[in-house]
């Protein structure tokens, strides 16, 4: 049985559109906390993680970047500048160390931000295009919140660097890429591989994955919205088409396609952030282009993803990335998922059913954190609880739920 409610979230009625209905089995899908309390709870969660950023984070490099994303979004949604100095200064430090915007890497697990910055200066450091794009995305959130033109320039420069590894139609047709040492399959399943973005910029790595391509789509769409430059719009459309054609099954985003032989990742590699980032990118792209196909696709993916048994049970609480003893990437994945569906919420004010569904889903996670996983202002990575002592990865995962609850209520 499914449930819907007026946008004020005070009453209930039977849903008209079943696919956007709220399952009655979901745990506590509303709350009555006033705006001021929601803002305070969210900022307190951010404050609890700040001391760790210079002492040994326990989280990876890409996850560290997403702390600053949450902080910038907190200020944007709450209408404050509380986190501005921390966000802007730290992001500028990162980009200053990466003058060529092409040496962003993984492997900084457990390091303090100050140590991460030192590692970034090592030119032999392993590189990943998605890591570069995570930081470009953080810069764009910060630009949206504070209007700092330097951070916009940093995001554009990073986009320019990663664009060297976005597969063009001509490259796909020729079966060759100037920065890759292997032949490219022009098509997979009869559809062009144009628009996909290689995960790693090393010459021998053949993987094009959803998170790198989804990040590129989203950064491109944000830049198109800000600059009105058609090159960003065209790039976003190409990547959206690649994801739609090659890595979408039953409205759930899959993980990786091999550009050389079209082999793909195992079918059970289903991660929240792949769908979440695609939802976010499509939400922005729909506004930029005015093309209804992107909004329709976004709604279909969102309606499926928030009810997927791949990462939650019948109570609706996300189970992905629930380790309480050590960090794993999945802890950061679910935060990206919540952020993506929240972007859809804010950009679709007239779609009442969609907004009720997102509001309800965010509140399921919000109430789980507060009721089941809270230890003061810190939260377990396991949203079913029980509460535990502070871990940076658990705290990171909670931040986007709290910032999203500011507006999604």
Residue 59 contacts residue 106 (beta carbons within 8 Å): no
Give, as one character, the DSSP assignment of residue 4.
B
Structure confidence at residue 60 as a pLDDT band (50, 70, 90): confident
**pLDDT, averaged across the chain:** 89
Annotate 186-241 with DSSP letters as a single string: SEETTEE-TT-BBS--STT--EEEHHHHHHHHHHHHHHHHHH--HHHHHHHHHHHH
Burial class, 265, CB count within 10 angstroms (exposed 0-12 / middle 13-18 / buried 19+): middle
What CA–CA distance (Å, rounded) separates 278 from 284?
10
pLDDT in tens, 281-337: 999 999 999 999 999 999 999 999 999 999 999 999 999 999 998 888 889 999 999
101 band by pLDDT with thresholds 50, 70 and 90: low
Q: What is the CB neighbour count within 10 angstroms for residue 144? A: 17
> How do beta strands 22-23 and 378-379 pair?
unpaired
Q: Where are the alpha helices (DSSP H) in 58-128?
A: 61-78, 84-97, 113-120
CA angle 364-271-165, nearest 5°?
135
pLDDT mean over 215-237:
98
Interatomic CA distance for residues 238 and 202, integer angstroms: 22
Beta strands in 241-346 (DSSP E): 248-249, 252-253, 256-258
What is the C-alpha to C-alpha distance for residues 199 and 285, in angstroms, rounded to an integer?
22
Domain coordinates of the chain in residue numbers? 1-30+306-409
CA–CA distance, 152 with 140 (Å, rounded to integer): 6
Q: Measured between alpha carbons, how far is 188 from 61 in angstroms, rounded to an integer?
A: 32
Q: Is the dihedral of CA 126, 129, 130, 134 positive or negative?
A: positive
> How far from chain centre, in Å, is Cα 319?
17
Contact between 38 and 405 (Cβ < 8 Å):
yes
**pLDDT above 90: residue 112:** no
What are the φ/ψ torsions at residue 87 (nearest 5 degrees)?
-65, -55
Three-state DSSP state, 249: strand
Could you give the angle at the alpha carbon of 70 between the alpha carbons of 375 and 223, nearest 5°?
165
User: pLDDT by residue (tens digit) across 5-51?
Assistant: 333 333 333 333 448 999 999 999 999 999 999 999 999 999 999 98
Spell out the residues 6+ positions from residue 113 whose beta carbon is closer than 8 angstroms to its own: 53, 54, 57, 64, 90
> Once rounded to an integer, what is the mean pLDDT over residues 242-265?
97
pLDDT at residue 127 in the model:
79
List % helix, strand, coil for the chain (3-state, nearest 5). 55, 5, 40
Rounded Cα gap, residues 387 and 11, in angstroms: 32
Its pTM stands at 0.91
Tens of pLDDT, residue by residue over 115-139, are 444 434 333 334 799 999 999 999 9
Q: How many residues does the chain have?
A: 409
How confident is the model over 184-201, as a mean pLDDT? 97
Q: Is the preceding omega at residue 386 within 30 degrees of 0, hence cis?
A: yes
**Percentage, residues of the chain above pLDDT 70:** 88
């Amino acid at each position: 049985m499914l449930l819907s409610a007026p946008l004020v979230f005070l009453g209930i009625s039977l849903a008209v559109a079943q696919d956007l209905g709220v399952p009655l089995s979901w745990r506590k899908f509303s709350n009555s906390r006033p705006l001021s309390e929601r803002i305070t709870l969210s900022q307190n969660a951010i404050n609890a993680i700040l001391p760790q950023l210079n002492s040994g984070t326990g989280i990876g490099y890409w996850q560290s970047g997403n702390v600053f994303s949450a902080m910038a979004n907190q200020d944007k949604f709450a209408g404050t500048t509380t986190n501005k100095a921390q966000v802007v200064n730290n992001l500028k430090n990162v980009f200053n160390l990466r003058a060529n915007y092409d040496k962003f890497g993984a492997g900084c697990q457990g390091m303090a931000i100050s140590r991460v910055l030192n590692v970034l200066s090592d030119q032999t450091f392993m590189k990943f295009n998605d890591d570069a794009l995570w930081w470009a995305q953080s810069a764009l959130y910060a630009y949206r919140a504070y209007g700092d033109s330097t951070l916009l320039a940093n995001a554009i420069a990073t986009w320019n660097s990663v664009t060297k590894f976005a597969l063009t139609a001509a490259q796909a047709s020729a079966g060759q890429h100037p920065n890759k040492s292997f032949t490219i399959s022009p098509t997979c399943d009869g559809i062009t591989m144009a628009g996909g973005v290689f995960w790693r910029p090393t010459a021998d790595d053949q993987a094009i994955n959803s998170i790198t391509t989804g990040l590129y789509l989203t950064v491109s769409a944000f830049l198109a919205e800000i600059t009105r430059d058609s090159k960003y719009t065209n790039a976003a459309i190409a990547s959206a088409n690649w994801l739609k054609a090659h890595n979408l099954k039953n409205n759930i985003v899959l993980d990786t396609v091999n550009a050389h032989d079209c082999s793909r990742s195992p079918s059970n590699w289903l991660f929240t952030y792949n769908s979440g980032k695609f939802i976010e990118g499509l939400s922005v792209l729909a506004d930029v282009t005015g093309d209804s196909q992107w909004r329709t696709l976004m709604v279909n993916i969102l309606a499926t993803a928030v009810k997927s048994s791949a990462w939650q049970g019948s109570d609706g609480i996300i189970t992905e990335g629930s380790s309480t003893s050590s960090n794993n990437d999945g802890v950061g994945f679910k935060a990206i998922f919540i952020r993506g569906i929240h972007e859809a919420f804010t950009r679709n004010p007239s779609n009442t059913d969609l907004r009720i569904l997102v509001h309800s889903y965010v509140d399921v996670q919000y109430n789980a954190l507060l009721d089941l996983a809270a230890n003061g202002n810190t939260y377990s990575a396991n949203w079913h609880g029980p509460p535990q002592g502070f871990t940076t990865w658990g705290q990171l995962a909670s931040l986007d739920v709290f910032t999203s609850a500011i507006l999604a209520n």
